[in-house]
Structure 1
């Protein structure tokens, strides 16, 4: 009745599939116990008094009179999820949803976020940016006089002291006005503006995920080095000086499990040959996107590295000799322009002792 859906690149469970009979039974039982309600389609039926006591609500598609409908649930809701509502406007605030802990799928800009700072119980906030596929650009569906006020997320987000996850999709400069010292933040995803990271945004060492972000002054100031419990980091570097300041800061992040470095294609950035990640014993995934040419020696790689991804690296021909000596490497992905030589030859039959998955030029395969 429960089946494996998808696996991660390293083979661990990522998602499961549920048999339709079990799914229907679960939804029915969830409604009976006021645990979960799911609404889909263009029309929303008027809920009964019992159904409005539901604690978790998922809305699929677009609906009219959304606020009138949701207000009946407000005193009880703990979780509110929106799916496929890209054209609907949530033209109201969430000030009545005092117990809400999870809010996901809200598009920005929208008046729905105007009162988000009043949701003092909120643990998870997921925000999306509208994208006009026809015009091929982001759009603000507000009156011109309102656009300037909502180019960034409201400052009231800084009041969410219990927030553990902020996930923002397709934003670049959305939190630069926020003065925020969050002791409970665990996952900060989707904020990739240097202005944001150089602002008054301060994290405690409880942070586990930070991606993608820009390098800059905040790294030099030691704010990255203070995140000693960080497990997943993706950082984009625009100049060589940012990489040089990043290297000594990474050395203190002993809990890192996944590290992704993205180098600018406009300003050549060369990975220092003296760089060593051998002290990062928990690091299993490493991604390097940008010109490297010369790889570090095998003993400078993380000792337990399982997955290595290289893109646009322009590696030297003998680089494979170094990679084949990584004892625990199980997955090697060589992306577009990572290795432009006609031959890829191992030096011995004992090279790549644990390699299970090898993908070459996967970017070009995906594009085709």
Structure 2
């Protein structure tokens, strides 16, 4: 069958993906062979015929998932987590099926995407270093072209790009619109619109009179004396026009289920209008990195009772002097929320109530100063938790076992803590409640790590940043049976010596030591780290030499040295100047 693919790698891979789904059944392979031969008997046959064959071979539940990928621009790196949230919000994968299949909708959607990967219809770009799960992927240009043509044929969506951005209006029959180029929102006339995704910034220059602005060497400047007087007025007019964009959207797209404004990081209005609460059908709302002159969110957000994903991480684009976002205490009304991303700097008149969000899977930027710690115990489905800010436990009992549990989520696999205010005892109690944790990232100042038995034995990835540990953490961490990746960054340890004992770190594959300014010696005993494949050392200026114990590690494949003293580098390279497994960077 390969000879029919005209030597095209994509066609060969796609054909292999089709065969891989046939369970080595001879009859099914023969059917595929017959179909391939039939395609290439035509005079006009080309690789598109093989791609069409792969589409025709898709089961019904995979076809809309595949067609949905045509929303994304050419060469766009698609983040799997975001795509899964969009698929669920669109109803392509329904949460209502969870009880029937015994899996949550996110796992079902993930399985669908992995089927497309196995069929070679999408290409993996990046995998999670800890779990090896796919993080991002892309579509081959030819596959994307075929996907787009099929989606247009089935009127699956409408793309606004260079070919039609200036047209007077879009087709009124489409329910999904993907904005690849800037166009006036008022050009969209579809009152049945369900999905509006942006992939291009709306430039403020598009709203200014061009005669006031000139460009030289990539920089804009005011080109006449009157401009400085009129500039403030122009900004005011621009903001009014931007508010007009909001008004048009909120008045005409009342059936929206998906509104993704994340890529628009230029001015998008003086504030988020209260009319946002009229979009009661919304399932997905992303305001990430949007710029508002007034970073105050309206209480009408509480009307969005169907929301499943809410991203309020506005701070990067915020024009507020305080760089703090006001969030009204209405999120507790959104009982269907599955993914909540709070602002990193959040202000509210009272603490945010989140205890009603029992379906929550992702919670980012939680802190005990702005939220109630007790609410975490109700989030039994939580999988990913990021604490950013103060973490304190009130009425804490000195005997850890006598404190009530903080979390009862059996599926919590990822925990990240960024805090300047944390008691080591509180951290210990929190970690003791996370028995199934696989990924742990700590950016907190603590003198020593919690004892080994308080850490999850399922941990495969640990990253420590700015912890300023005084005691050597290796005797604790080397006991973790499944730990594969360990990273010390930016003053994570301020001691002088680290020691890895025999039989320690049985599965460790990657060790990174970066910006440990006081580290003078790393000792590795024989039979320690028997599975180590990669070692990275950088900006550890007091480290004199690599440990002798490394010579016993036969699995080591890559040694990366970065910004280390010349004497250290000379000792490493002695007699091995051309060894490809040693990478040295200034």
Which TM-score band applies after superposition, normalised by the shorter structure? 0.7 to 0.9
Contact map agreement 2:284 2:309 (CA 8 A) in 1: yes
Distance 2:372 2:453 in 1: 26
Q: Which has the higher strand share?
A: 1
Could you tell me which residue of structure 2 aligns to residue 39 of structure 1? 160
- TM-score (ref. length: structure 1): 0.81
Could you tell me which residue of structure 2 aligns to residue 85 of structure 1? 201
- TM-score (ref. length: structure 2): 0.53
Relative contact order (C-alpha < 8 Å, sep 6+): which is higher? 1
Aligned pairs for 1:1-368 (under 5 A) are 1=10, 2-10=122-130, 11-41=132-162, 44-46=165-167, 51-63=171-183, 66-70=184-188, 72-75=189-192, 77-88=193-204, 89=242, 90-92=245-247, 93-105=249-261, 109=269, 113-130=273-290, 140=293, 147=294, 151-171=295-315, 172-176=324-328, 178=330, 180-192=332-344, 193=346, 195=348, 198-199=351-352, 203-216=356-369, 218-220=371-373, 222-238=374-390, 248-264=404-420, 269-271=423-425, 275=429, 277-278=431-432, 280-348=434-502, 350-361=503-514
DSSP 3-state at the match of 1:52: coil
Question: Aligned-pair distance for 1:158?
Answer: 0.6
Distance 1:196 1:305 in 2: 38
Where do 5+ consecutive residues of structure 2 fail to align?
1-9, 11-121, 205-241, 316-323, 517-537, 540-561, 564-585
Change (3 A) 1:305 1:268: closer
Distance 1:78 1:274 in 2: 46
DSSP 3-state at the match of 2:372: helix
Could you tell me which residue of structure 2 aligns to residue 136 of structure 1? none
1:204-242 residue CA offsets vs partner (Å, 9 max, x unmatched) = 21111111122137435x222222221111113437557
Q: Which has the higher helix share?
A: 2
Contact map agreement 2:165 2:182 (CA 8 A) in 1: no
Contact map agreement 1:298 1:323 (CA 8 A) in 2: yes
Change (3 A) 1:357 1:126: same
Question: Aligned-pair distance for 1:30?
Answer: 1.2
Distance 1:242 1:360 in 2: 36
Distance 1:237 1:243 in 2: 19
Distance 1:130 1:251 in 2: 32
Question: Aligned-pair distance for 1:179?
Answer: 6.4
Give the paired residue count: 343
Where do 5+ consecutive residues of structure 1 fail to align?
132-138, 141-146
DSSP 3-state at the match of 2:431: coil
Distance 1:242 1:217 in 2: 14
Change (3 A) 1:176 1:226: same
DSSP 3-state at the match of 1:299: helix
DSSP 3-state at the match of 1:344: strand
Distance 1:295 1:233 in 2: 20
